[in-house]
């Protein structure tokens, strides 16, 4: 009985630990996703500011070197935004993988729980049948002793 309880407690602790780890991984991925979105927003704002600066400078008479520099900065901003988009896509895939793994772990935990319940039921049946056999054997022994005493008395 103690071994069964120990096994049950160990399985419960493992299930809880797995659950906490999966939740932590999911939260970490979501936090990274939020950070990427914030960085993307910042880069977009910087890009808009540079576009506005470019619009103002185009309105003025400026050297072509300044216009080329502004254009280069804008292209760099766009490439940064594209790379963040790719990174966000990769992180979304990672999150979906974690969610899939989480689902698999939960199914495994349910299966383990079902097996544990079956083991517990089987154990209780065995204990009950062993107790019943012991009761029947004791009753037979008492009955036999009673008959022997009655035969000796007669």
- Determine the 3-state secondary structure of 98 from DSSP: helix
**What value does the CA radius of gyration of the chain take, rounded to a whole number of Å?**
37
Q: Does the pLDDT value for residue 63 go beyond 70?
A: no
3-state helix, strand, coil in the chain (%, to 5): 95, 0, 5
The pLDDT assigned to 19 comes to 87
Which domains does the chain show, CATH number per domain? 2-153 (1.10.287)
* Residues 38 and 79 sit within 8 Å (Cβ to Cβ): no
Q: What is the pLDDT of residues 84-140, one digit of tens each?
A: 889 889 988 988 999 999 999 899 989 988 998 898 899 899 989 989 999 999 999
* Residues 115 and 8 sit within 8 Å (Cβ to Cβ): no
CA distance 65 to 73: 12
Place of tokens 């083991």: 119
The pLDDT assigned to 7 comes to 78
pTM over 0.75: no
Q: What is the pLDDT of residues 7-61, one digit of tens each?
A: 778 888 888 888 888 888 888 888 988 998 898 888 888 888 887 777 776 666 5
> Which residues have CB under 8 Å from 148's CB, separation 6+?
none
> Which residues have CB under 8 Å from 74's CB, separation 6+?
47, 50, 51, 54
* 5 or 122, which is more confident: 122
The pLDDT assigned to 59 comes to 66
């Amino acid at each position: 009985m103690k071994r069964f309880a120990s096994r049950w407690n160990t399985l419960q602790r493992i299930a809880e630990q797995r659950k906490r780890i999966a939740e932590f991984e999911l939260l970490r991925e979501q936090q990274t996703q939020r950070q990427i979105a914030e960085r993307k927003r910042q880069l977009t704002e910087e890009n808009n500011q540079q576009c506005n600066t470019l619009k103002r400078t185009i309105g003025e008479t400026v050297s072509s070197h300044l216009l080329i520099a502004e254009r280069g900065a804008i292209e760099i901003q766009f490439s940064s935004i594209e790379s963040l988009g790719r990174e966000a896509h990769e992180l979304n895939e990672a999150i979906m993988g974690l969610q899939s793994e989480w689902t698999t772990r939960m199914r495994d935990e349910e299966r383990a729980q079902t097996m544990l319940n079956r083991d517990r039921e089987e154990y209780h049946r065995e204990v009950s049948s062993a107790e019943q056999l012991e009761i029947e054997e004791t009753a037979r022994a008492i009955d036999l002793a009673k008959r022997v005493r009655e035969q000796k008395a007669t």
